[in-house]
Structure 1
Amino acid sequence: MRPAYSHNAITPPANWQQLPWGDWLCQQISAGLDNWWPKLFGYHMVKLGPLAPELNSRLCSIRHQMVITASGGDLWGDLDDLPLQCRSVDACLLPLVMDFHQDPHGVMREADRVLVEGGHMVVVGFNPVSPVGMGLLSPTCRQRYPWNGRMFTPNRIKDWLGLLGYQIVGHEPLVYSSLLWSPDRFLWPQQWMAQQTPSLASVYLIVARKLAVPLTPARPLWRPKKRLITSPAAMGREAVGQRRDSR
């Protein structure tokens, strides 16, 4: 397994049009997010990365929403060093952010830092073990989006979230196209994979909830029995009487 951190800088796509069939891909991801927006509650939501502004989140009940990117948006800032206070947002959206960042661990830890307990982290990513992963076999494809990114499996993302203390509440496959040709081609294999092998989706959506950590440690259920001493003076007199009787 290759390390998550990359020593080479990775430039994320500035917009969806830089991805193959980007407008169609944005529509598919937006449709998948529509099923989850009504289930997120709170006061503040942050959307990270340059691809976040074009994702429609009108169905979300969280009204105050802001976009943070390294080159523009509502706030400017590095995704692994967000200009937000700890525990200040209720939901965090990372659309294809982990795939195009030099330190995906740092991005996830920073998103965890600003999330409140009980908040939700929504991660969208490319699955290398899928039809889109075929492009990784071509040296030509590896020079362009999205194959010049990292692509982590959904199970690996779940492991990272589990280490941070998150509960996976949703995992949905979104796209089965290889993006090497038009998504309208080879519809029958895509439909077959959606029914038989949903884990091999090219794009996945993971929703995780941050668990609250108890402030006080849980007490053990079993304790050794201790002898109850009602009066130390009485215990002393009892010991003196036993010594007199022994004489």
Structure 2
Amino acid sequence: MSTMNTLSEWFSTPPGKYLLECEQALFDHSVADIFGYNAIQFGLAEYDFLRTSRMPLRATAGDEIGVQVRLDAEELPFGCCSLDLVILPHVLEFHPQPHQILREVVRVLRPEGNVIISGFNPHSLWGARRALGAQMNYPWCGNFITLPRLKDWLALLGLNVITGRFACYAPPLSNPNWLNRFHFMESAGDRWWAVWGGVYFLQAIKHVSGMHLIKPRWNEGLVGKLIPATPKLNREISQCTAQNPEGRTIHNE
């Protein structure tokens, strides 16, 4: 087996094509219903996971060749609260500082902005394949993050998971004929062993606490002593206003 130096190269293999087909369908369905103006896809510039998005500004970003915006994911060159949608297709498990990436994503997301994450599930046949060896090649060299751990990170950063699912239940076989024989597991997996999918797919939203009106605490005793307005008092106020059209303060001597 030839060595895969990038995840994009691995996507050209039979298991890679199988995973790419599943994830493309998930991204197509999710981004089509998210509204806003600015959307960014980190990494994998060869694959347009934003193709069904209706946002006017869509771009790919990362430190690889082919992206539209070259950047370091740990220090994003975007203003705070400037993006409506960020998607991270297998970014976190192949970066040494995944938590820092999420911090930056939260910073640049607008209130109620969305982030969509796809990642390899270590508690699956795909995770077992990584544990059995070949950890020098893609995608097995990645640090697969468990779903509970990822959810904890998102919660600590103020991101609320609104939807998620698993996909790719067939084993990651290199032989396309054998892989096709296990294709029935895709439909059966959602029903019988949903948490054992090879990849997970999460959509989270950035919630910002709303402002609350702070009302003054009135002195009830003082309020009870206030003199209600009378017709005579109203006439006196009108006369004072007419004599001072510029709003100058009247001093009683």
Calculate the TM-score normalised by the size of structure 1: 0.77
1:159 maps to 2:155: no
SS at match of 1:35: helix
Q: Runs ≥4 in structure 1, deviation > 6 angstroms?
A: none
1:131 maps to 2:125: yes
Does the C-alpha gap of structure 1 residues 133 and 231 become closer, same or farther in structure 2, counting only changes over 3 Å?
closer
CA contact (8 A) 1:52 1:67 kept: yes
State the Cα distance separating 1:177 from its structure 2 match: 2.5
Amino acid at match of 2:170: S
Amino acid at match of 1:125: G
- For 2:214 and 2:120, the matched residues in 1 are separated by 40
- For each residue in 1:44-95, what CA deviation from the matched residue of structure 2 results, as whole angstroms up to 9, or x when unmatched? 001112x144134222111211111112311111111111111111000000
Q: How does 1:172-183 map to 2 (within 5 A)?
A: 172-181=165-174, 182=176, 183=179
Which range moves more in the overlay, 184-193 or 120-129? 184-193
Aligned twin of 1:70: 63
Does the C-alpha gap of structure 1 residues 121 and 204 become closer, same or farther in structure 2, counting only changes over 3 Å?
same
Choose from 177, 194, 205 the match for 1:198: 194
Unaligned residue ranges in structure 2 (runs of 5+): 226-253
- For 1:144 and 1:124, the matched residues in 2 are separated by 19
Calculate the TM-score normalised by the size of structure 2: 0.76
C-alpha RMSD of matched pairs (Å): 2.6
SS at match of 1:94: strand
- For 2:224 and 2:149, the matched residues in 1 are separated by 61
Larger-Rg structure:
2
- For 1:175 and 1:96, the matched residues in 2 are separated by 14
SS at match of 1:85: coil
- For each residue in 1:71-122, what CA deviation from the matched residue of structure 2 results, as whole angstroms up to 9, or x when unmatched? 2311111111111111111000000001100000011111111110010000
Q: How does 1:77-88 map to 2 (within 5 A)?
A: 77-88=71-82
- For 2:36 and 2:160, the matched residues in 1 are separated by 18
Amino acid at match of 1:228: G
Counting aligned pairs with the same residue, the percent is 28
State the Cα distance separating 1:164 from its structure 2 match: 1.2
CA contact (8 A) 2:166 2:199 kept: yes
Amino acid at match of 2:104: E
Aligned twin of 2:7: 13
- For 1:152 and 1:217, the matched residues in 2 are separated by 41
Does the C-alpha gap of structure 1 residues 213 and 137 become closer, same or farther in structure 2, counting only changes over 3 Å?
same
Choose from 181, 203, 214 the match for 1:207: 203
CA contact (8 A) 1:135 1:142 kept: no
State the Cα distance separating 1:137 from its structure 2 match: 2.6
1:186 maps to 2:182: yes
Does the C-alpha gap of structure 1 residues 112 and 20 become closer, same or farther in structure 2, counting only changes over 3 Å?
farther
- For 1:78 and 1:166, the matched residues in 2 are separated by 22
Aligned twin of 2:103: 109
Unaligned residue ranges in structure 1 (runs of 5+): 1-10, 233-247
Does the C-alpha gap of structure 1 residues 215 and 54 become closer, same or farther in structure 2, counting only changes over 3 Å?
same
